[in-house]
């Protein structure tokens, strides 16, 4: 889930520690009838099979894209001191590694995130 | 899970009072909450320290860095000064856990995280860390992930932190406060080898709070690298890891820092290897000789013996990378 826009692992969070903070779960992303562009991309790019992991994947990806926009490096970033870090497939995979998908929809997940990230860059 | 109380510390004085009265500091909770669920940690009260003003990363006069104890692992890794001056630290942080967990985990909590040896959480098995005097099930049991350096007959659990390995190579100093005052502990003296008392994991007193970590300036750290070898490429603990910084002039090693993770019961400074390297030609032969010197005291069990060879190769590969292509910045 997102706390003030930052992704965290809800399973290890004590709710009381996040009182008064701005919490976003998948229920706050998009609306029935008008899904978020990333939700549309998950449908279009085959980003899920059973759907169990999907809410976490989408919230995590939103947090990940925001991190990337602030210049956060990852462990596969070639030069950590660089200002502009290209969001390659290798970067997306590394940055999304905290979200496991038992169905193995990884290629579709990366594709969905890639298409939204490319669209953001193009804008 | 045992019922517990929760207070959010209003200020540092309040936090120190709570800790002196027996409350356990709560950082990101990514280790403590997990172990409370597993009934391994059973605190009566938690004092949340994440609202304290310990969130800064400040440059010190002379070029060092002061890092607040509750700085999140992700924020520290993204810090500009860390990335350019101490890239090994940024890399080690980014090699740990996942994006979500790094946004929660604090510097103090990372230093004090407990071993991932499965027997720590297995109430059906012996573990001298969980239940002093009960024995060590890992020695004859599942021990592929355990340590080969710094072990005792009472415990062979490996220290899991990536960040601490890089900090140790950088000669970090830990600032600790209590109602009794402030003291500064070289990071190498914070963690205790298991010896006769595996449950005593650090030299901290129960009323002490980590308030900051300081890094002295180190020109050599600009050419540094963290190499982590694991069962899968991401979101996994280290089998072995190496934090290294290297300066070579006219083909000779003029400065070097080396620390190891995954192979020891504490973050492990490779002093023997550093001794061999300093002043020697920066060649593959030297790198291998240095690695071998560090591992002479290793004690293997059948299923973790592979780590001795693996870490030597990783040391040599990391130094080779720094001598040829350069560091992570
Ligand atoms: C799925 C998973 C994967 C992980 N993978 C990795 C990995 O690959 N590499 C790695 O290095 N780590 C890994 N971790 C561990 C993670 O880095 C630690 O859990 C985290 O750094 C702990 O920080 P925290 O702030 O959440 O600590 P907490 O859980 O809040 O606290 C941990 C301990 O430190 C004490 N404490 C906290 N702050 C202070 C303070 N300022 N002063 C005194 N005592 C304090 C607490 O009382 C507690 O005993 C992983 C964790 C999980 C759950
Ligand atoms: S879609 Fe089934 S677990 Fe990811």
A64-115: per-residue pLDDT in tens?
A: 999 999 999 999 999 999 989 999 999 999 999 999 999 999 999 999 999 9
Instruction: Give the pairing type, strands B45-48 and B5-8.
Output: parallel
Q: Is residue A67 part of a domain?
A: yes
Q: What is the mean pLDDT of chain B?
A: 98
B241 shares its domain with B196: no
Under an 8 A CB cutoff, do A75 and B34 touch?
no
Q: Domain of B262?
A: 221-324
Instruction: Let me know if residue A11 belongs to a domain.
Output: no
- Looking at the predicted complex, does its ipTM rise above 0.95? yes
Is the alpha carbon torsion for A49, A52, A53, A54 positive or negative?
A: positive
Residue B36 forms part of a structural domain: yes
pLDDT tens column, A31-41? 999 999 999 99
Nearest beta carbon to residue A16 from set B6, B74, B103? B6
In tens, the pLDDT along B282-299 reads 999 999 999 999 999 999
**Does A49 sit in the ligand 2 pocket, CB within 6 Å?**
yes
Q: Does residue B231 sit in the same domain as residue B288?
A: yes
Contacts of A13 in chain B (CB under 8 A): 29, 33, 104
Whole-structure pTM over 0.95, yes or no?
A: yes
What Å distances lie between residue B109 and A17, A85, A112, A119, B164, CA to CA? 15, 29, 35, 38, 11
Contact A7 B99 (CB under 8 A): yes
CB distance A86 to ligand 2 below 6 Å: no
Between B6, B8, B90, which is nearest A80 by CB? B90
The tens digit of pLDDT for each residue in B50-87 reads 999 999 999 999 999 999 999 999 999 999 999 999 99
Considering the domain architecture, whether residues B258 and B317 belong to the same structural domain is answered as yes
Number of domains comprising chain A: 1
Average pLDDT over residues B89-106: 98
Q: Which atom of ligand 1 is closest in space to residue B163's alpha carbon?
A: 11
Task: Decide if B284 is inside a domain.
Answer: yes
What distances in angstroms separate CA B105 from CA B65, B111, B163, B202, B259, one per listed residue? 19, 10, 11, 19, 22
At A120 the pLDDT is 76
CA distance B144 to B152: 16
Residue A9 lies in a domain: no
Residue A109 lies in a domain: yes
Q: Confirm or reject: Cβ of A109 under 6 Å from ligand 2.
A: no
B99 and B228 belong to one structural domain: no
Q: How far apart are CA B185 and CA B212, in angstroms?
A: 11
> Is B62 part of any domain?
yes
**Residue B42 sits in a domain of what CATH number?**
3.30.43.10
pLDDT over 80 at A123, yes or no:
no
Question: Model confidence at A119, in pLDDT bands (50, 70, 90)?
Answer: confident
What span, in angstroms and rounded, lies between the C-alpha atoms of A104 and A114?
Answer: 17
Helix (H, G, I), strand (E, B) or coil at B281: strand
Q: Which domain holds residue A53?
A: 28-122
**Structural domain contains residue B141:** no
Report the interhelical angle of A106-122 vs A54-69 (nearest 10°): 40
Q: Do B179 and B246 belong to one domain?
A: no
Task: Report CB contact under 8 Å: B90, A73.
Answer: yes
Q: What confidence score (pLDDT) does residue A122 get? A: 60
Contacting residues of B for A61, CB less than 8 Å apart: none
Q: Give the CA distances from residue B238 to residues A68, A108, B147, B224, in Å, rounded to whole numbers and listed in that order.
A: 25, 28, 11, 18
A105 Cβ below 6 A of ligand 2 = yes
Nearest ligand, measured from the Cα of A58: 2
Atom of ligand 2 at shortest distance to CA of A102?
Answer: 3
| Residue A23 covered by a domain | no
Say if B300 falls within a structural domain.
yes
Position in ligand 1 atom list of the atom nearest CA B261: 11
Rg, Å, chain A Cα set:
15
Nearest CA in chain B to A13: B29
Q: Rounded to an integer, what is the distance from CA B252 to the centroid of its chain?
A: 29
Q: What is the pLDDT of residue B276?
A: 98
| CATH number of the domain bearing residue B313 | 3.30.390.50
Shared domain for B27 and B167, answered yes or no, is no
In a domain, B119, yes or no: no
Q: What is the mean pLDDT of residues A8-18?
A: 97
The mean pLDDT of B230-243, rounded to a whole number, is 98
Counted domains in chain B: 3
Same domain for B29 and B76?
Answer: no
For residue B138, tell me if it sits in a domain.
no
pLDDT, one tens digit per residue, over B182-212 is 999 999 999 999 999 999 999 999 999 999 9
Check whether residue B230 and residue B271 sit in a common domain. Answer: yes
Q: CA B156 to CA B264: how far, in whole Å? A: 8
Q: CATH number of the domain at A115, please.
A: 1.10.150.120
Q: Mutate which of A12, A13, A53, A93 to test chain B, going by most B C-beta atoms within 10 A?
A: A12
Residue B126 falls inside a structural domain: no
For residues B263-281, give the mean pLDDT: 98
A119 φ, ψ (degrees, to nearest 5): -65, -40
Alpha helices for chain B (secondary structure H): 12-20, 32-37, 73-78, 80-85, 87-94, 99-104, 107-111, 137-140, 163-169, 271-277, 284-294, 306-324
- In DSSP terms, B246 is beta-bridged to B256
Query: pLDDT over 90 for what percent of chain A?
Result: 93
User: DSSP string covering B193-233, please?
Assistant: --TT-TT--BS--TT-EEEEEEE---GGGGSEEEEEE-SSS
Q: Is B106 on the interface with A (CB under 8 A)?
A: no
Amino acid A121: pLDDT: 67
Q: By the 8 A CB rule, do B87 and B327 touch? A: yes
**Long-range Cβ contacts of B140-147 (<8 Å, 24+ apart):** B142/B118, B142/B303, B143/B301, B143/B303, B143/B304, B144/B303, B144/B304, B145/B116, B145/B117, B145/B237, B145/B239, B145/B262, B145/B304, B146/B117, B146/B301, B146/B304, B147/B263, B147/B264, B147/B265, B147/B304
B65-68, strands of its sheet edge to edge: B57-59, B65-68, B209-215, B173-178, B181-186
Report the pLDDT value the prediction gives residue A16, as an integer from 0 to 100.
Answer: 96
pLDDT of residue A118 exceeding 90: no
Task: Compare all CA atoms of chain B with the CA of A95 and give the residue at the minimum distance.
Answer: B99
The verdict on residue A17 lying in a domain is: no
Residue among B170, B139, B167 at smallest CA distance from B154? B139
B99-109 confidence digits (pLDDT tens): 999 999 999 99
């Amino acid at each position: 889930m997102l706390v003030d826009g930052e992704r965290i692992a809800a399973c290890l969070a004590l709710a009381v520690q996040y009182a008064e903070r701005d919490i976003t779960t998948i229920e706050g992303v998009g609306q029935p009838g008008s899904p978020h562009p990333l939700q549309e991309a998950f449908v279009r790019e085959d980003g899920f099979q059973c759907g169990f992991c999907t809410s976490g994947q989408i919230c995590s990806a939103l947090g990940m894209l925001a991190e990337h926009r602030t210049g956060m490096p990852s462990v596969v970033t070639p030069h950590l001191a660089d200002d502009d870090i290209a969001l390659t497939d290798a970067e997306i995979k590394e940055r999304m590694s905290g979200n496991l998908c038992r169905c193995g929809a990884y290629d579709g997940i990366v594709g969905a995130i890639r298409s939204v990230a490319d669209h953001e860059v193009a804008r | 899970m045992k019922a517990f109380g929760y207070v959010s510390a209003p200020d540092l004085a309040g936090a120190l009072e709570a800790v002196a009265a027996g409350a356990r500091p709560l950082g990101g909770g990514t280790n403590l909450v997990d172990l409370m669920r597993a009934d391994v940690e059973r605190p009566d009260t938690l004092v949340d320290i994440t609202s304290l003003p310990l969130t800064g990363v400040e440059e010190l006069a002379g070029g060092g860095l002061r890092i607040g104890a509750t700085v999140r692992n992700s924020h520290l890794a993204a810090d500009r000064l860390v990335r350019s001056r101490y890239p090994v630290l940024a890399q080690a942080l980014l090699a740990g856990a996942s994006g979500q967990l790094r946004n929660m985990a604090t510097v103090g909590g990372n230093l004090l995280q407990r071993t991932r040896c499965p027997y720590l959480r297995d109430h059906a098995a012996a573990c001298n860390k969980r239940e002093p005097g009960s024995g060590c099930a890992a020695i004859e049991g599942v021990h592929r992930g355990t340590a080969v350096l710094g072990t005792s007959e009472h415990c062979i659990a490996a220290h899991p932190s990536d960040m601490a390995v890089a900090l140790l190579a950088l000669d970090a100093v830990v600032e600790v406060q209590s109602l009794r005052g402030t003291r500064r502990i070289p990071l190498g003296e914070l963690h205790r080898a298991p010896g006769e008392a595996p449950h005593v994991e650090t030299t901290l007193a129960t009323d002490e709070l980590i308030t900051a970590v300081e890094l002295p300036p180190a020109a050599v750290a600009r050419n540094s690298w963290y190499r982590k070898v694991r069962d899968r490429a991401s979101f996994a603990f280290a089998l072995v890891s190496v934090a290294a910084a290297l300066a070579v002039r006219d083909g000779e090693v003029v400065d070097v820092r080396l620390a190891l993770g995954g192979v020891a019961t504490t973050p492990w400074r490779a002093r023997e290897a550093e001794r061999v390297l300093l002043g020697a030609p920066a060649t593959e032969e030297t790198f291998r000789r240095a690695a071998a010197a560090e591992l002479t005291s290793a004690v293997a069990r059948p299923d973790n013996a592979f780590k001795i060879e693996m870490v030597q190769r990783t040391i040599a590969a990391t130094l080779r990378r720094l001598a040829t292509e350069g560091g992570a910045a």
